[in-house]
Amino acid sequence: MSTPAKGATKKEKKKPIPVKTSLNSPYSIHWSPLEREHKHFILNTLKVKLAAVGLQKQRVNRFREWGSRRRSRKKASKPTEEQKPALEPAESVQTPSKPTKPCWSNPAVRNQLAIGINEVTKGLERNELSLVLVCNSVKPAHMTCHLIPLSKTRSVPACQVPSLSDTLAGLLGLKCVLALGFRSGTEEFEDVVRAITPVVPPLSVAWIPTNSTEEKQSDRVKGKKRKLEEMSDEASDASALILQPLKVKKIIPNPTKIRKPKKKGKKKYLSSV
């Protein structure tokens, strides 16, 4: 064990203590909690609707016969003169084409849904969704945090439903369902959106004020400034967001800071000529 030297310099003894001002971070966003009764209600309505619609992903097992590549190469090669008349009637017969890619049982109904985090994000950016449901089993959790401000700015109701993936993945024929969005103007899921929307809790984002704060701020601004009444129709129709200022928790002065006394300057008097 090395012992500290006795003759330590003054700079080594007096080490500066790092002091920083702490601010509350507005970027720590969390989903608002959902009640148990509302959770069971949402999952039951989705189960009943998806079972009635019968939407499911159909997977095709791909099987390649032994020696199929060799046969295809022989057919691609040019046939001899003796084999030409024998191949013509065989080629004219049309064989039914087998599906080689996974497909959905009802593609029209599938287009009315946005399944997955990527599809839900694109739908919110394009203002195409009317309701968003997210599963709480997403790891890491920050993969779905960006959906909170997106749905808040688009005024789309969104919430985190526990065990959403476990209940819907088997019905849809998928491994997992981390996010589910309903497109606006859809006839098939219109009743589901109407039933779930009043149950969804409101989202809280620090830099986006709620409706009550917006009304109070608008009343104050109208009394102070007259220019808002002369705004153009385009500016009034657009929904402007007002940024809220950050609140300082605590300010700690730096104890190691050396404050030099102010030097008193010599007064200069102008001599009158």
Report pLDDT digits (tens) over 71-109.
666 666 655 554 544 444 444 444 445 554 568 888 999
Q: What is the pLDDT of residue 93?
A: 44
Count of all residues that appear for the chain in the document: 273
Q: Give first-to-last CA distance, the chain, whole Å.
A: 79
Q: What is the pLDDT of residue 214?
A: 44
DSSP per-residue string spanning 55-80: --EEP------TTHHHHHHHHHSPPP
Give the global pTM. 0.58
Tally: H helices and E strands in the chain: 11, 8
Q: Using the 8-state DSSP alphabet, how is residue 229 labeled?
A: G
Structural contact between residues 109 and 52, judged by C-beta atoms closer than 8 angstroms: no
Cβ atoms within 10 Å, residue 161? 22
Q: What is the pLDDT of residue 251?
A: 75
The residues of the chain scoring below 50 in pLDDT are 1, 82, 84-96, 100, 213-228, 231-236, 238, 273
Q: What is the pLDDT of residue 269?
A: 56
Q: What is the pLDDT of residue 101?
A: 56
Nearest partner of 180 among 49, 15, 17, 32, judged by Cα: 49
Structure tokens at 231: 């705004």
Q: What is the pLDDT of residue 208?
A: 79
Cβ atoms within 10 Å, residue 49? 16
Distances (CA, A) of 75 to 65, 69, 79: 16, 10, 8
How far is the C-alpha of 133 from the C-alpha of 235, rounded, in Å?
A: 32
Nearest partner of 152 among 241, 60, 42, judged by Cα: 241
Q: What is the pLDDT of residue 264?
A: 72
Q: What is the pLDDT of residue 115?
A: 95
Q: What is the pLDDT of residue 29?
A: 84
Q: What angle do CA 186, 46, 169 make, to 5 degrees?
A: 105
Q: What is the pLDDT of residue 52?
A: 92
